[in-house]
């Protein structure tokens, strides 16, 4: 009985520590993947005459591949083609947060500000990589919530129409991952990058501080 009691105590001590270690490892992997997305964005821009990638929001209208398919070539060494068996590995690998249990939706969403037209922004556009005024404070990708199946976040709708953010604000408890335009990624409380009560909006390149 004494041995059993001791084992029970040790289990109660060790299991939470193991769970914390597992969660920390998953969060680390997620941030590494988000940093990779930042790096791939820079590679894409360099290969595309400084043009920013696009998401499903505007890619097809502009006759280019959405970011997930465009980056596929950098990750696999071959251009994406419909039916490519490697797509599932990429979608559920580099594009999937280890803490996101969904398998049919995107874990990461591209900040749609980088593909908006002058009519949508009121004049300014940030469709060029070198045209981002404050790369170190402007969000490039964020983690998407369960409520969206898109590959992007319509961040301008949050301020223009009061739409709820499509971002998972607490996936890593606390906070969620974001990667900025300069390529650095971190886990942050959502209000540190978007809080209209104090005028904080790091998704809008014009207001990012």
Q: What is the pTM of this model?
A: 0.89
72 versus 148: the higher-pLDDT residue is: 72
CA 126 from centroid of its chain's CA atoms: 18
Q: Which two tokens stand for residue 75?
A: 């990750």
- Mean residue pLDDT of the chain comes to 91
Q: Which two tokens stand for residue 142?
A: 């964020």
C-alpha span between 174 and 27 (Å, rounded): 11
Looking at residue 101, what is its pLDDT?
Answer: 84
The phi, psi pair for 26, rounded to 5°, reads -65, -40
Q: Which two tokens stand for residue 137?
A: 């404070």
C-alpha span between 168 and 176 (Å, rounded): 7
184 versus 101: the higher-pLDDT residue is: 184
Three-state SS for the chain is CHHHHHHHHHHHHHHHHHHHHHHHHHHHHHHHHHHHHHHHHHHHHHHCCCECCECCCCCCCCCCCEHHHHCHHHHHCCCCCCCCCCHHHHHCCCCCCCCCCCCCCCCEEEEHHHHCCHHHHCCCCCCEHHHCCCHHHCEEEEEECCCCCCCEECHHHHHHCCCCCCECCCCCCCCEEEEECCCCEEEECHHHCEECCCCEECCCCCCCC
Q: Which two tokens stand for residue 186?
A: 């971190």
Q: How confident is the model at residue 97 (pLDDT cuts 50, 70, 90)?
A: very high
Residue 139 near residue 109, CB atoms below 8 Å: no
Q: How confident is the model at residue 103 (pLDDT cuts 50, 70, 90)?
A: confident
């Amino acid at each position: 009985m004494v041995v059993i009691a001791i084992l029970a105590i040790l289990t109660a001590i060790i299991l939470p520590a193991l769970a914390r270690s597992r969660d920390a490892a998953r969060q680390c992997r997620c941030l590494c993947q988000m940093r990779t997305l930042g790096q791939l964005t820079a590679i894409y821009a360099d290969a595309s005459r400084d043009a920013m990638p696009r998401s499903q929001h505007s890619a097809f209208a502009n006759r280019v591949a959405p970011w997930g398919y465009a980056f596929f070539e950098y990750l696999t060494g071959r251009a994406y083609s419909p039916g490519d068996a490697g797509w599932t590995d990429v979608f559920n690998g580099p594009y999937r947060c280890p803490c996101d249990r969904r398998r049919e939706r995107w874990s990461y969403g591209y900040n749609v500000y980088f593909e908006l037209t002058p009519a949508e922004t009121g004049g300014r556009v940030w469709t060029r990589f070198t045209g981002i005024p404050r790369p170190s404070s402007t969000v490039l990708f964020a983690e998407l919530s369960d409520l969206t199946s898109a590959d992007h976040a319509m961040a301008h709708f949050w301020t223009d129409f009061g739409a709820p953010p499509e971002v998972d604000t607490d996936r890593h408890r606390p906070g969620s991952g974001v990667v900025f335009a300069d390529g650095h990624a971190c886990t942050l409380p959502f209000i540190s990058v978007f809080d209209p009560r104090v005028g904080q909006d790091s998704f809008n390149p014009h207001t990012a501080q």
